[in-house]
C-alpha cells in the first residue's frame, strides 16, 4: 500500500523527509489533476491532503471520503493550523467512536 501527500510546499517537505511521495499543486487545475491521478492509482491506500487545498476541490474530496473507495482521504492542517478550533479532537473522537 502506497501513501501520497498533496499540499503546500512547506508541508510537502516534511512528508518528503518522512519518505512519503508528495506533490505541490500550484493552482486548482493542478490540484484536480493530482487528486484524480491519485484516485486512479490502484496501489495507493492513503492520500493526505491539507485542509486548505481540500477546500479548493471540496466536492471531489467529499465524494471520495463518502464513496467508500480506496484510497482513504485524510485532511490535515496546513502550517497555519486547523481552520476550525477543536477540529482535530472532533476528528479523533469520530474515528474512535467516542461520544463526548
- CA 54 centroid distance within chain: 7
Angle among Cα 30, 79, 4 to the nearest 5 degrees reads 45
Question: What range defines the domain where residue 20 resides?
Answer: 2-96
Average pLDDT of adjacent 10-residue blocks, the chain of 100 residues: 92 90 92 95 94 93 88 85 60 64
CATH number of the domain enclosing 90: 3.40.50.10580
Residue 85 is placed in which grid cell? 478550533
Task: Give pLDDT, residue 83.
Answer: 60
> How many domains does the structure of the chain reveal?
1
d(CA 4, CA 68): 18
- Helix ranges, the chain (H): 9-17, 28-39, 51-56, 58-67, 87-96
What is the model's pTM? 0.77
Q: Edge to edge, what strands does the sheet with 72-76 contain?
A: 21-24, 2-7, 44-50, 72-76
Amino acid at each position: 500500500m502506497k501513501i501520497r501527500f498533496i499540499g503546500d510546499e512547506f508541508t510537502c517537505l516534511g512528508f518528503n523527509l518522512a519518505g512519503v511521495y508528495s506533490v505541490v499543486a500550484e493552482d486548482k487545475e493542478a490540484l484536480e489533476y493530482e487528486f484524480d491521478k491519485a484516485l486512479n492509482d490502484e496501489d495507493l491506500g492513503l492520500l493526505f491532503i491539507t485542509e486548505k487545498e481540500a477546500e479548493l476541490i471540496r466536492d471531489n474530496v467529499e465524494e471520495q471520503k463518502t464513496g467508500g473507495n480506496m484510497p482513504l482521504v485524510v485532511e490535515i492542517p496546513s502550517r497555519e493550523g486547523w481552520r476550525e478550533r477543536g477540529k482535530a479532537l472532533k476528528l479523533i473522537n469520530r474515528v474512535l467512536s467516542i461520544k463526548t
